[in-house]
Amino acid sequence: QQLEERFADLAASHLEAIRARDERDRQNARLREENARLRLENRRLKRENRSLFRQALRLPGGSPRALRARLEKLEAMYRRALLQLHLEQRGPRP
């Protein structure tokens, strides 16, 4: 009787460990997918930033001071976009 109870406890503990491992594996896969997506988004935003900077260089009035102000504005927009993306990815918090 006591041996059977101990075996049942071990089996239940083993199943719980398997469930926990499976959940970690699923979460890891989700995080890897999100990481890959965020890397792609980051590359896209960097390309866009470089493109906008090149456009600014071609504009009249492309003085270093004006370009620096434009760059700071674009960097702020970039940071806000990243923050918004992270907030959307996290979802509503309880």
Torsion of CA 82, 87, 88, 90, to 10 degrees: 120
Instruction: Give how far the C-alpha of residue 83 lies from the chain's centroid of Cα atoms, to the nearest Å.
Output: 10
Q: What is the DSSP string of 2-41?
A: HHHHHHHHHHHHHHHHHHHHHHHHHHHHHHHHHHHHHHHH
pLDDT digit string (tens) for 71-91?
Answer: 899 999 999 999 988 888 887
CA gap 69, 47 in Å, rounded: 19
Cβ–Cβ < 8 Å for 45, 78: yes
SS3 content of the chain, % helix, strand, coil (to 5): 90, 0, 10
pLDDT digit string (tens) for 22-68?
Answer: 999 999 999 999 999 999 999 999 999 899 888 877 777 667 787 78
- The answer, as to whether pTM is greater than 0.75, is no
